[in-house]
Amino acid sequence: MLYLGVDQGPRELEAWLVEDSGRVLARSRGPELEEVLAPCLEACQGTPMRGLSALPAGHEPPAGFEGCPRDHALFAAALGGSPGILIDAGLQTRVLTLDLSGKLRVTGPTEEIGLDPLRRRLETLLADADPAAGRRLRRRVEAGQDPVSACFDLASWPGPDPDLRGLLLTQARRLVQTVRQARSRMLGVPAPPGSWSGGFMVPPLPDLFSEEVYRFLPEVSWRPPRLPCAAGAVLLARAASPDPRRGGLRGLMSQRTALKGFLRRLRDALE
């Protein structure tokens, strides 16, 4: 049996074709679904396949595929079937938690945290000619750099801009508050792992967040996501084989020990 996982993300699509052993046969990425699926379908060569597509709300899976919520595939990819905490930090930020009940809970979205609120704050800085941070940021933007990218660069070591680093620290502290709220709803997980996804959680923000969150949730161990979302769809497809009733995050959570070798070989494909 082969497993084909597809991430129908908001900006780019990705597909992974994987053997039952966990060996990755094909990976592809691109803006068009047909283009992304073509090399994986060609590599199938008539072998029985189960296809699972990670879908944002309101989307339909490709013909011949089953669909699953993209949140489930993101969580499976980041934490490999373990109950825990996932920060999905894009335009706005949400916190996803999975505990021993097997139910995925979502806290947010939070309008004060994410790329959109950060961009609005930077636009205010750029419109003000007086603050030093605004002038330095403006020079970067006038040279063609995106304001958010420039902010992250200027707030990073060595020699971080104190105003811009402080701006990101404020975002990190608000994120900690949201994570604490989500953590309070988890049942029966004394020391959960935590991870993140999305274009907002790039350096130096993960370090700022880790420094702040340790003061309040020292029992949570934070690490980068293990796999991309398409590989999470593969994991969910594998967990539901051969009995679809055993699928979903609950099924993956119950099988995570048995699937350790499968997960390890998926991770090997990223090296």
DSSP letter string, 133-153: HHHHHHHHHHTT--HHHHHHH
At residue 259, does pLDDT exceed 90?
yes
When pLDDT is averaged across residues 92-96 and rounded to a whole number, the result is 97
> Is 66 in the same domain as 185?
no
pLDDT tens per residue, range 40-87: 999 998 899 999 999 988 888 998 899 999 999 999 999 999 999 999
Q: Which two tokens stand for residue 108?
A: 């947010």
- Enclosing domain of residue 56: 2-79+226-268
The amino acid that residue 201 corresponds to is M
> Is 6 in the same domain as 96?
no
Residue 134's Cβ-side half-sphere holds a number of Cα atoms within 13 Å equal to: 11
When pLDDT is averaged across residues 106-125 and rounded to a whole number, the result is 95
pLDDT value of position 49: 94
> Is 168 in the same domain as 187?
yes
Which of 222, 238, 259 is the endpoint of a domain?
222
Helical ranges in the chain per DSSP H: 33-44, 70-79, 115-127, 132-142, 147-154, 162-183, 205-216, 229-239, 248-254, 260-268
- Residue 131: pLDDT band by 50, 70, 90 thresholds? low
> Is 34 in the same domain as 162?
no
When pLDDT is averaged across residues 226-242 and rounded to a whole number, the result is 94
> Is 115 in the same domain as 213?
yes
Q: What is the CATH number of the domain that holds 68?
A: 3.30.420.40
6, 22, 17: which is closest to 44 by C-alpha? 17
CA 145 to chain centroid, in Å, comes to: 24
* Distance (Å, whole) CA 30 – CA 34: 9
> Is 117 in the same domain as 166?
yes
> Is 70 in the same domain as 149?
no
* Distance (Å, whole) CA 7 – CA 70: 7
When pLDDT is averaged across residues 98-110 and rounded to a whole number, the result is 94
- Residue 258 three-state SS: coil
Number of domains in the chain: 2
32, 1, 29, 34: which is closest to 15 by C-alpha? 29
Percent of the chain with pLDDT over 90: 85
> Is 112 in the same domain as 201?
yes
The amino acid that residue 252 corresponds to is L
When pLDDT is averaged across residues 2-31 and rounded to a whole number, the result is 95
> Is 129 in the same domain as 205?
yes
167, 238, 171, 162: which is closest to 198 by C-alpha? 171
> Is 72 in the same domain as 183?
no
pLDDT value of position 226: 95
When pLDDT is averaged across residues 152-175 and rounded to a whole number, the result is 95
Q: Which two tokens stand for residue 16?
A: 């992974």
